[in-house]
């Protein structure tokens, strides 16, 4: 077998591994509630409100945005109360996250377990998935 042929065969083997790994990751992610590196582009609509107390005081939305690298544009606040009611959204929710809520919780939890560990933060996340039932997640849980 020539060197060139070997290289091509190796390249195909690596490409096949990448493709098979995606299949494996997708199956694995479907066993849980997150979709990391699984194909679910913009498949979720999480509307939420997030309150954080750290270092003994409540954080501003800008501080929360920076702390978790979340986009905290008030996209829900632009809707009228009547529109929110039609969509079944709580009037307290302001922000939008387009991945599963588990990924939002994971990000906050991992930030608080690592970078923010010394701050003794207390987090209250209130959210709805696709306009469904309102749920609350707390850190520390």
Residue with Cβ nearer other proteins (47 or 56): 47
> Looking up tokens 């690596």, which residue turns up?
14
Binding site for other proteins (CB under 8 A): 8, 11-12, 14-15, 18-19, 22-23, 26, 30, 35-45, 47, 68-70, 75-76, 79, 83, 86-89, 96, 103, 106-107, 110-111, 114-115, 129-132
Measured from the CB of residue 127, what is the shortest distance to other proteins in angstroms?
12
The Cα 141–Cα 10 span in angstroms is: 48
Measured from the CB of residue 51, what is the shortest distance to other proteins in angstroms?
20
Residue with Cβ nearer other proteins (87 or 126): 87
Can you name the residues that pair with 53 across neighbouring β-strands? Answer: 58, 122
- Please, are residues 49 and 92 in contact by the beta-carbon 8 Å criterion? yes
48 by Cβ neighbours in 10 Å (0-12 / 13-18 / 19+) ranks as buried
């Amino acid at each position: 077998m020539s060197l060139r042929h070997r290289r091509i065969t190796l390249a195909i083997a690596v490409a096949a591994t990448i493709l098979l790994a995606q299949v494996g990751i997708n199956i694995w992610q479907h066993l849980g509630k997150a979709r990391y590196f699984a194909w679910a582009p913009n498949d979720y609509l999480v509307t939420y409100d997030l309150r954080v107390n750290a270092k003994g005081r409540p954080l501003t939305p800008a501080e929360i945005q920076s702390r978790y690298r979340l986009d905290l544009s008030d996209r829900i606040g632009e809707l009228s109360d009547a529109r929110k009611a039609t969509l079944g959204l709580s009037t307290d929710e302001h922000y939008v996250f387009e991945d599963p809520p588990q990924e939002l919780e994971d990000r906050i939890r991992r930030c608080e377990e690592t970078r923010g560990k010394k701050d003794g933060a207390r987090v209250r996340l209130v959210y709805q998935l696709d306009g469904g039932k309102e749920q609350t997640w707390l850190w520390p849980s």
